[in-house]
Amino acid sequence: MATATKAKVKRLPTRDKVKKEDTWDLSSLYANDAEWEKDLKKLESLIPKFAKFRGTLANSTQSLIKYLKFDEELELLGEQLGNYAFLRTSEDTADSASQGMYLRFMGVASRAGQEASFARPEILAIPDAKMKKLLAEKSLAPYRLVLERLLRFKPHTLSPGEERLLAMQAEMSEAANNIFGKLNDADLKFGTIELNGETIELSHSNFSRCLDSSNRDVRRKAFHQIYAAYQDHAQTLAACLNASVHRDVYYARSRNFGATLESALFPDQVPLTVYENLIKTVHQYLPSVHRYLEVRKRALKLRDLHMYDTYVPMVSSIKTNYSWEKAVKLILSSLEPLGSDYVATLEKGLLGRWCDRYENKGKRSGAFSSGSFSSDPFILMNYQPTVLNHVFTLAHEAGHSMHSHFSSKHQPFRYYSYTIFVAEVASTFNEELLSEYLLERARDDNERAYYLAREIDDIRATLVRQTMFAEFEKVIHEIAEAGEALTLERFRAEYRKLLDRYFGKGFVIDDELSLEGLRIPHFYRAFYVYKYATGISAAIALSQRVLSGGSAEREQYLGFLKAGCSKYPLDILRDAGVDMEQPTPVAAALQRFDRLVTQLDELI
């Protein structure tokens, strides 16, 4: 009698088995960990020097400038140290040595924050008349915007003692995020699954491969398998999110803000109406979203549509397989409207070692770009050649990295670090150009339908879905601010209400989908996701300007990339040609979505 052969499970490689050329080269930050250790000691040695500035900042222009230069020196060194430690720990979240480096850096950074906590209240205590004279002095001109921005925080700055106490809480305040991160990236196990004839270890990264599968049984099984793990840890996840929300409420109230959302929008000088207009405008266009879901259901020939059916390509006959090199070539071709300098710089980085390309055991999930002033901008990917969305993700992260490259080359350190609000414009802009490039070169109606569906899904995921996430964040923070309990059941109930509204009556919502509100990493750093939605709206507007315009429009866009944070984000975008204080860009993006849905429906 023949013995059944046990299928070999394809495991993720450990970090030491990954090819060197597929990893990032962090030497522009530090040649090795030993060099990092030297600079950490240097940072520690500089911290006590804050004391000599205490009580001197109002003495003279020279005293204030000396402090600002010293603080900038520490901040630059801290950015370099922190970025290196963060990138090292991202390589393998279970590696205790790199984890230790990051935690030690956080400890030193927290002490630096405590020692520097006197400065803000001391500067803000300078009488208005004297401050006006200081700002008028030519020698302070390089720091004028720094000080003007600081003065905005005067109503939200506490006494030196209170500021020190808040600074001492920096590490403790990250507990909820850190616990969620360890649980989500290192401890949660999802078992194995059969995919394309192989038994693979189900992970965050290849979950997307499963959802892309034309085999509905694979999609369904992967979905329920992933959520079974979250269900097993639901109370812990709810406790983490509850703690994260209450941390936000605590800091907002400590700094005299009326609400957490007001506190989050204040640094970028973004009016509350921008957030409210976004949600209101998306609500108005939800019938278009529901119509699209009906088109998807018909295209897939399904009686009912579930969440696990919303990622698989509707045009199943189109197969893609882009090696890293082919993906880079495609992206570079699509970005040629931005000029030879942009393309050449990006080519050198993507084919060189800006990127940590593929998944390994313990590696941080998802993708990100991490730029810094004194080094190359780095990109973490968990790239899968057969997943077209990963090509778009690479284009997205490349947009962030080129934004970092241009801003660090054209701005001083104090003004190079652009805000997240504009960051999501630069990244999504690249995706828009890539989408247009593929659509223009579609060989037949079938391929065109494929790319149309992909762009529609991108707008739905980035504009509509992220707005749903933003509304969830707003709702749960308002519940906490009202003194009501955020239990697991309350989280699930509030999330379910939004699922019903955004997906409509024709969509089947599996019960465990209400747990999704606990597994989105951005929810543990609140009020970020709305910037994806505003970002794609601005990106669509700007990409159309560049593609239909000439050198002037291109230079305006490149000027946006070079601006860093030399102005407030809404002003930078206005200079580039789009006004996000009006609902018009969001409405225009959703109208484009509606037109694309009509075109797709006609094709399929």
Q: How confident is the model at residue 6 (pLDDT cuts 50, 70, 90)?
A: low
**Degrees (nearest 5) of the Cα angle 225, 226, 231?**
95
Q: Where are the beta strands (DSSP E) in 175-261?
A: 192-195, 198-201
Catalytic residue among 397, 431, 455, 471: 397
Confidence of residue 462 (pLDDT cuts 50, 70, 90): very high
Identify the pLDDT of residue 316: 67
Distances (CA, A) of 336 to 188, 331, 340, 434: 42, 9, 7, 10
Residue 396's pLDDT is 94
Q: Is 201 assigned a catalytic role? A: no
Share of the chain above pLDDT 70, in %: 98
Separation between Cα atoms, residue 345 and residue 348, nearest integer Å: 5
Element containing residue 369 per DSSP (H, E): strand 368-370
Question: Does residue 561 contact residue 595 with C-beta atoms inside 8 Å?
Answer: no
**First vs last Cα of the chain: how many Å apart?**
51
Q: What is the pLDDT confidence band of residue 204, given thresholds at 50, 70 and 90?
A: confident
Burial 174-185 (b: 16+ CB within 10 A, else e): bebbbbbbebbb
Band of pLDDT at residue 8, cut at 50, 70 and 90? low
In this prediction, residues 341-359 reach a mean pLDDT of 97
Spatial strand order in the sheet of 378-380? 355-356, 378-380, 368-370
In sign, the C-alpha dihedral spanning 281, 282, 283, 284 is positive
Q: Please state, in angstroms and rounded to a whole number, the distance separating the CA atoms of residues 156 and 173.
A: 19
Tokens of 231: 């269900």
pLDDT digits (tens, 9 = 90+) for 122-176: 999 999 999 999 999 999 999 999 999 999 999 998 888 898 898 888 888 999 9
Average pLDDT, the chain: 93
CA of residue 57 relative to chain centroid, distance: 36
- Is the Cβ–Cβ distance between 371 and 400 less than 8 Å? yes
What confidence score (pLDDT) does residue 205 get? 79
Token pair 């720091």: residue: 143
Would the pLDDT of 318 be above 80?
Answer: no
Contact, 213 vs 312, CB < 8 A?
yes
Per the structure block, which two tokens stand in for 81?
């140290």
- pLDDT on residue 206: 86
pLDDT of residue 2: 46
Phi and psi dihedrals of 369, rounded to 5? Answer: -115, 135
Query: What are 210-268's pLDDT values in tens digits?
Result: 998 889 999 999 999 999 999 999 999 999 999 999 999 999 999 999 999 999 999 99
Does the CA dihedral 247-367-510-589 come out positive or negative?
positive
Distances (CA, A) of 308 to 57, 150, 226: 59, 47, 11
Choose the weakest-confidence range: 198-202, 478-482, 539-543: 198-202
CATH of 16-173, one of 1.20.140.70, 2.40.50.140, 1.10.1060.10, 1.20.950.20: 1.20.140.70
Closest CA to 457 of 301, 331, 299, 585: 299
- pTM value? 0.82
d(CA 345, CA 323): 20
